[in-house]
């Protein structure tokens, strides 16, 4: 596949609009807040339900790199469609499952679909802009596209519990199949960008080229580690409700989740504006510093206001800044593969941090566990600072 001359006529608005609605439909899952409860109802065991969640994460990690290579070699649109079809199959399995066996197959399918989208969809957006010569607009468009995830999660959290209470848990899962079907039709309308040059002769050569590209690029090496460390800190989201439940009534946990998604939505929406004024490296560094300080304050001196600070208030801006820095360093030829390698490293660190945090929680309590996760995140700050200093020196030399 050879590079095509850039053209202002490339369908940037069309692909951006379709990606936005794709993200909304993909994460509009009414069963989200009750997924573990539903799994336990079907299997008759919370242990079995937890094992299904673990298998989903492992299957996503296992397929990260193969699906990234698939995207680079076969195209962004086809990979996006394949992921949507597999996700529909996963949801049909959830809806029809009589027991553990079909649920197990369904979580493996969902993990596969997640891997298909992981490195692919951001690459599709960047390639669409790159083809039009508008790659500098990536932070703004990526912020808007990714904000739709948070909007869908907030609405699903608010609606899913009500529908489940009025109808049934299985009925909520059945309804959640509909937006996944819509994803297939949306992906079908996406147009394939054409920007990368001739591919390597074999899959292994292609993968080796991507690994060498990361190893030889000091900025990309550090940003890959920053990305993985930030992802590993999301394990705190699984433990935070335990801390919040000690300060707020149980019925308020849903409101807390919705509030968190609403804040993240706002962060994604303004990320392009903020990055345009501060720059990607400064936005990432300041966002991570702000979140770390806010979390430590919330945990060290717990009050009724602590849940408002807990989490990642600057998550949206930091995430788009991180993606901008990564996409700038990725090669056109191995863009999705490099993204998948970063995601794979993040999944491995996530599992290790989650396990360690669980052990700390059992021995010293939930506050110590969440503080331990913050300590892991702190290791990303020197790496982000190096990238910031490197970018500043490059600008001075360029001047």
d(CA 282, CA 273): 13
Residue 158 reports pLDDT greater than 80? no
Residue where one domain finishes, among candidates 195, 217, 245: 195
Higher pLDDT, 232 or 10: 232
Given a contact cutoff of 8 angstroms between Cβ atoms, the answer to whether 35 and 226 are in contact is: no
Q: 96 with 150, same domain?
A: yes
Q: 108 with 187, same domain?
A: yes
**DSSP secondary structure letter of residue 167:** S
Q: Helix or strand or coil: residue 28?
A: coil
The total domain count for the chain is 2
Given a contact cutoff of 8 angstroms between Cβ atoms, the answer to whether 48 and 100 are in contact is: yes
In-domain check, residue 374 = yes
Residue 5 reports pLDDT greater than 60? no
Residue 208 reports pLDDT greater than 60? yes
Q: 128 with 210, same domain?
A: no
Q: 233 with 164, same domain?
A: no
Half-sphere exposure of 248 (CA within 13 A, CB side): 19
Average pLDDT score over residue span 351-361: 78
Q: 113 with 174, same domain?
A: yes
Residue 8 phi, psi dihedral angles, 5° rounding: -70, -10
Q: 227 with 351, same domain?
A: yes
Burial state string for 10-48 with b = 16 or more CB within 10 A and e = fewer than 16? bbbeebbebbbbbbbbbbbbbbbbbbeebbbebbeeeeb
Tokens of 149: 């995830």
Angle at alpha carbon of residue 360, lines to 354 and 363, rounded to 5°: 145
Given a contact cutoff of 8 angstroms between Cβ atoms, the answer to whether 111 and 63 are in contact is: yes
Which of 22-31, 57-66, 72-81 has the highest mean predicted lDDT (pLDDT)? 22-31
Tokens of 31: 């069963």
Q: 293 with 353, same domain?
A: yes
pTM here is 0.78
Q: 149 with 19, same domain?
A: yes
d(CA 149, CA 267): 12
In-domain check, residue 3 = no
Q: 261 with 389, same domain?
A: yes
Q: 158 with 202, same domain?
A: no
Task: Identify the helix (H) or strand (E) that includes residue 50.
Answer: helix 46-74
Residues spanned by the domain of 172: 10-195
Q: Helix or strand or coil: residue 379?
A: coil
In-domain check, residue 285 = yes
In-domain check, residue 321 = yes
Q: 185 with 241, same domain?
A: no
In-domain check, residue 4 = no
Write the pLDDT tens digit of every residue in 166-179. 677 788 889 999 99
Q: 159 with 238, same domain?
A: no
Higher pLDDT, 399 or 49: 49
Closest CA to 94 of 192, 171, 191: 171
Average pLDDT score over residue span 9-38: 83
In-domain check, residue 149 = yes
d(CA 209, CA 362): 43
Average pLDDT score over residue span 356-383: 85
Predicted local distance difference test score (pLDDT) of residue 185: 96
d(CA 239, CA 248): 15
Place of tokens 């304050």: 297
Residue where one domain finishes, among candidates 149, 175, 195: 195
The CATH number linked to 273 is 1.20.1250.20
Alpha-carbon Rg of the chain, whole angstroms?
21
In-domain check, residue 37 = yes
In-domain check, residue 2 = no
One DSSP character per residue, 187-236 reads: HHTPPPP----PPPSSHHHHHHHHHHHHHH-HHHHHHHHHHHHHHHGGGH
Residue where one domain finishes, among candidates 143, 174, 195: 195
């Amino acid at each position: 596949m050879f590079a095509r001359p850039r053209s202002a006529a490339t369908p940037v608005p069309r692909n951006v609009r379709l990606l936005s609605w794709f993200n909304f439909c993909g994460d509009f899952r009414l069963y989200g807040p009750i997924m573990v409860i539903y799994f336990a109802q079907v299997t008759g065991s919370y242990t079995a339900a937890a094992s299904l969640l673990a298998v989903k994460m492992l299957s996503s990690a296992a397929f990260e790199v193969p699906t990234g290579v698939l995207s680079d070699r076969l195209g962004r649109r086809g990979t996006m469609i394949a992921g949507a079809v597999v996700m529909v199959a996963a949801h049909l399995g959830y809806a029809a499952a009589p027991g553990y066996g079909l649920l197990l197959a369904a979580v493996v399918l969902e993990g596969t679909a997640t891997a298909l989208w992981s490195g692919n969809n951001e690459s599709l957006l960047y390639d669409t802009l790159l083809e039009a010569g508008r790659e500098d607009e990536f932070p703004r468009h990526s912020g808007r596209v990714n904000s739709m995830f948070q909007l869908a999660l907030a609405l699903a959290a608010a609606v899913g519990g009500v529908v489940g209470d009025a109808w049934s848990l299985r009925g909520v899962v059945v309804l959640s199949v509909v937006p996944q079907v819509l994803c297939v039709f949306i992906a079908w309308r996406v147009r394939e960008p054409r920007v990368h040059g001739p591919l390597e002769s074999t899959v292994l050569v292609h993968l080796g080229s991507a690994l060498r590209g990361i190893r030889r690029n000091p900025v990309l090496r550090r940003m890959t580690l920053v990305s993985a460390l930030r992802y590993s800190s999301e394990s705190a989201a699984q433990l935070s409700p335990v801390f919040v439940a000690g300060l707020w009534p149980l019925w308020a946990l849903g409101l807390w989740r919705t509030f968190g998604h609403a804040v993240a939505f706002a962060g994604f929406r303004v990320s392009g504006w903020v990055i345009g004024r501060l720059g990607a490296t400064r936005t990432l560094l300041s966002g991570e510093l702000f979140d770390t300080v806010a979390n430590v304050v919330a945990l060290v001196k717990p009050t009724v206001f602590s849940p408002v600070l807990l989490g990642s208030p600057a998550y949206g801006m930091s995430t788009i800044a991180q993606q901008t820095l990564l996409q700038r360093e990725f090669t056109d030829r191995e863009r999705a593969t490099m993204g998948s390698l970063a995601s794979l490293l993040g999944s491995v660190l996530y599992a290790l941090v989650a396990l360690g945090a669980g052990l700390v929680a059992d021995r010293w309590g939930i506050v110590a566990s969440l503080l331990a996760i913050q300590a892991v995140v702190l290791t990303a700050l020197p790496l982000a600072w190096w990238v910031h200093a490197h970018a500043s020196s490059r600008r001075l030399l360029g001047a």
